[in-house]
A and B are shown apart, each in its own frame.
Chain A
Amino acid sequence: MKKNQALRNAGLFFLFGGPSLIAFTLVFLIPFVVGLYLTFTKWDVVNNDGSFVGFVNYVEVFRDKSFLTQLWFTIRYVFFTVIFSNVLAFLIALALTTGIKGERWIRTGYFTPNLIGGIVLGYLWQSLFSRVMPFLGQKYGWPLFETSWLTDTDKAFWALVIATSWQLAGYLMIIYIAGITGVPKDVIEAAKMDGAGNFTILRKVVLRLSIPAVVVCVFLSVSRSFLTYDLNLSLTKGGPFNSTELATYHIVQKAFLSNQYGVGQAEAIVLFVIVAAVALTQSYLLKKLEVES
């Protein structure tokens, strides 16, 4: 009987966990391990030379000044994107849980950018930034929009942040809505009885009780914005003069354009370590804020 039970448990596990476990191993674990191995070799497609070179590629990573510059660029980009997208998403979620008319439609509207691929989205914003805005800027004499935002490093930075936040916010909004609607009504009522104002309720009750949603959202936005590639490709293409290459874009250029596969792969591993460290630290710190209702 006991053996039967164990078999049954294993079966259950494989029924639900098996497919994703296999997929995870095939498309993530194995490539990751192979990729790690490749950073220690002189591998490239041209000569297929797989000889072992030790840490040479990693030394090269830290000598690649443009990678370090672009990494710093990426970190600033992630910082602002995470803040903007989360604040925006939380505010929208708050507004859309009060029971406004047509709530569902508005939710769908905000979520739509997520259903559009990053490439399409990038081209959309590109024509907005480099065609529509300069046109309006020149017509009405707004100095901020007179030239394309994408041809200036600083403005292109904000263009990237705005476009990503806009896309991410709709997705995060759904999670925040779930978090906010999960706050028990009786707690809010009790707070009201005690004379708490709306703002106090929001700050002390709603926000505190939706910390799990915040943890998930910040984690998602950190990892997603660190790994932005498609939007970068279609919005700025790394330009002007390669100054808006995000880390992933730089890595792809390094490997596939400059034919330095080993160095590119090593840079990818360095990026992975940074993303993992940042994402885990922030979710550990935020989790500490969680409270039971």
Chain B
Amino acid sequence: MKAFKSFAFLSLCTILLVGLLSACSGGNKENTGSSNSGSAGGSTGTSSESTGSAAGSGKEIKITFFNTSAEVNTVFEELFAKYHEINPNVTVELIPTPIGGAQIEIFQSRLASGNPPTISNLDAGHILLYKDKFLDLESVRAKYEELTLPGAVEGGVLDGKFLGIPWSAQGYGLLYNTRVVEEAIGGPFDPSTIRTRDDLAALLEKVDAAGIPPVIIHGADWSLGAHYFALGFSLQSRNAEERFQFWEDLKAGKVKLADNAVFNGLMDTFDLLKKYNARKNDPLVANYELDSADFARGKAAFYFMGDWTWAVIGSLEDRDNDFGVLPIPISNNPDDYGNGQIPYSEPKLFAIDNSAATPEEQQAALEFIEWMLTSEEGQKAIVEKMGLVMPYKDVKAESSNVIAKAVAEYVSRGETIDISIINYFPADYWANNGASMQKYLVDKIDRAGLFEEIEKYWQNVD
């Protein structure tokens, strides 16, 4: 009896153990299975199939979508559901990221664990960094050149290869609340009258005199580092090669920022904005929703931000209706590069994984992206619900984004600044330069100190 008891005991333990182990290995299989079993299938049977439609093949396909445009997660999910209705065998699953939080970290850990997303909506710079992991989209390049506005595909060409499909374009600058500005100057406002720093200074003074807080500087590192300070690199020259040359010289320690007219001009303008900063008391609070809402409700006349902020502003109640955008003037010569132009780029691109995805998954991903960018549902979701501008021909949706419309006027006149040099910067440049800018904003360091910190950062980059 006793022997039986202990035998029962032991077998119970064994079952428990085996159960545990198999549970573990089961989990593993599921994790890597999508790549292993899938690629085996791919090598045997799909070489002929992959030219056909993945959605039409009837086979169950699951693709993942990594999204760094976190503020529009839900709109993407609605699109995925809709696509699943049309193509029941294709499931698209969202891998969300937090707004303004650890986004690329999630992507990296998925890549490192051999489980990368099929489609990634990433900054161009990150695609460039992992360029070997992504599918070369040469086969669809001609198609997209046909579909998009001139120059749009170039934004997705990184290091000579077409790696990212452009889907939205963004512009930024000194946004203004038309009602507030017009009340302050007592008449209609023509943005083309502001072409120099002195023009801007006079305008800010008028607004201030009218008792309205003139400008909100959003104190976050990404805004100060990537959007404001990095503009100095893009404005070095109208010629792309000279811009890269300046950057190389800075890294080699051959040029000093203090001797550079563009950076000094940019910082002189920053001093001006800082003087009239509505957040002067506590500049680093950097509450994005609050800053955007205050600007939209006329609690400040200007706001250094871009058309993407419509995602916050658009749905607000009791907001103003008319907004525009001004260039950041960096000198007192109205013809200088940057005084009449605004930065405009395709910040996010759709890239397709080529490290673990099967040809079928890649095909399904391509079809899904094309549907999203060309179908009426897709375009309506991107333009109307996300409030973004699509650099595509014949867009079948009308944007409600007033700021994007103001940006589009600069684009149609060709008055844009090419900021693609930042795609080649190291991934942490904005956090580092942004931290230095934050110190400058709260007067913890002066301009010499700021330039010194930033030069030191760049000299340590290889």
Cβ 8 A contact of B281, one of A4, A22, A147: A147
A233, B285: Cβ atoms under 8 Å?
Answer: no
Q: Which residues of B contact A26 (CB under 8 A)?
A: 24
Check A239–B284 contact: CB distance below 8 A: yes
Q: Are A46 and B438 interface neighbours, CB within 8 A? A: no
CB proximity of B279 to chain A, nearest CB, Å: 10
Instruction: Tell me, in angstroms, the Cα distance from A150 to B282 when the chains sit together.
Output: 10
| A151 in contact with B282 (CB, 8 Å) | yes
Q: Are B284 and A258 in contact (CB under 8 A)?
A: no
Chain B: number of interface residues, binned into ranges: 35 or more
User: Taking the nearest CB of chain B, how far is it from the CB of A42, in angstroms?
Assistant: 13
A256 on the B face (CB < 8 A): yes
The answer to whether A4 touches B101, judged by C-beta atoms less than 8 angstroms apart, is: no
A114 within 8 A of B: no
B270-305 contact mask (Cβ, 8 Å, vs A): 1 or 0: 000000000001111111000000000000000000
A4 touching B435 by the CB < 8 A rule? Answer: no
Contacts of A259 in B (CB 8 A): 129, 426-428
A285 in the interface, Cβ–Cβ < 8 Å? no
**B102 near A: Cβ within 8 Å?**
yes
Q: Does B12 contact A (CB under 8 A)?
A: yes
From residue A93, how far is it (CB to closest CB) to chain B in Å? 36
Q: Is B428 a contact of A258 with CB atoms below 8 Å?
A: yes
| Chain A nearest Cβ from B12, distance in angstroms | 7
**Separation in Å of the A236 CB from the closest CB of chain B?**
10
Are B285 and A256 in contact, CB atoms less than 8 angstroms apart?
no
B444 to chain A: which residues have CB within 8 Å?
Answer: 241
Chain A residues in 8 Å Cβ range of B287: 130-131
- A165 / chain B contacts, CB cutoff of 8 Å: none
Please give, as numbers and ranges, the residues of chain A lying within 8 Å of B2 by CB-CB distance. Answer: 4
Which label, helix, strand, loop or mixed, suits the secondary structure of the B interface? helix
Q: How far is the CA of A202 from the CA of B236 in the complex (A)?
A: 72
- Distance of A2 from chain B, by nearest CB (Å): 12
Q: Which residue of B lies closest to A260 (CB)?
A: B428
The listed residue (A148, A150, A242, A257) touching B105 by CB distance below 8 A is: A257
Interface check A228, CB cutoff 8 A: no
Task: Tell me the nearest residue of chain A to B3, going by C-beta.
Answer: A4
- Give the contacting residue for A130; candidates B129, B281, B285, B436; CB below 8 A: B285
Binds B, one of A7-15, A72-80, A95-103, A203-211: A7-15
CB-CB under 8 A for A252 and B6, given A151-B284, A239-B221: no
Contact residues, B94-116 vs A (CB, 8 A): 101-102, 104-105, 108-109, 111-112
Taking a contact as CB atoms under 8 Å apart, the answer to whether A242 and B16 are in contact is no
Q: Are A240 and B442 in contact (CB under 8 A)?
A: yes
Q: Are A46 and B439 in contact, CB atoms less than 8 angstroms apart?
A: no
* Cross-chain contact of B427 among A11, A47, A258 (Cβ < 8 A): A258
Within 8 Å by CB of A19, from B20, B112, B431, lies B20
When distances are taken between beta carbons in the complex, the residues of chain A under 8 Å from B3 are 4
**A233 and B6 contact, Cβ closer than 8 Å, known pairs A19-B16, A241-B439, A242-B431:** no
Q: Is A33 an interface residue (CB 8 A)?
A: no
Q: Are A233 and B102 in contact (CB under 8 A)?
A: yes
A146 to B20, CA, bound (A): 56
Q: Could you tell me the distance between the alpha carbons of A22 and B282 in the complex, rounded to whole angstroms? A: 51
Q: A8 to B9, Cβ gap below 8 A?
A: yes
Q: How far is the CA of A233 from the CA of B426 in the complex (A)?
A: 22
A117 within 8 A of B: no
Known pairs A4-B3, A19-B16, A26-B24; A151 contacts B285 (CB<8 A): yes
Whether, in the assembled complex, B17 has its beta carbon less than 8 Å from a beta carbon of chain A, the answer is: yes
Q: Are A18 and B17 in contact (CB under 8 A)?
A: yes
Task: Find chain A residues with CB under 8 A from B129 CB.
Answer: 46, 259
Select which of A11, A147, A256, A257 is within 8 A of B6 by beta carbon: A11
**From A153, which residue of chain B is reached at the shortest CB distance?**
B444
Contacts of A146 in B (CB 8 A): 281
A45 and B112 contacting across the interface, CB-CB below 8 Å: yes
The answer, yes or no, to whether A253 is at the interface (CB within 8 Å) is yes
Q: For chain B residues 419-462, which have a beta carbon within 8 Å of chain A?
A: 426-428, 431, 435-436, 438-439, 442, 444
A198 to chain B, nearest CB (A): 47
Q: State in angstroms the CA–CA spacing of A241 and B433 once bound together.
A: 10
- The answer to whether B431 touches A22, judged by C-beta atoms less than 8 angstroms apart, is no
Instruction: Show 10 A/B contacts (Cβ-Cβ < 8 Å), sorted by A.
Output: A11-B6, A22-B24, A134-B282, A148-B284, A241-B436, A242-B435, A252-B105, A256-B109, A258-B427, A259-B426
Given A151-B219, A253-B431, A259-B428, 8 more pairs with CB closer than 8 A: A8-B6, A15-B9, A45-B111, A46-B130, A47-B132, A131-B287, A148-B285, A151-B442
In the A-B complex, the 9 residue pairs with the smallest Cβ-Cβ separation, listed nearest first, are A241-B435, A256-B105, A151-B284, A147-B282, A258-B428, A241-B438, A257-B428, A8-B6, A11-B10
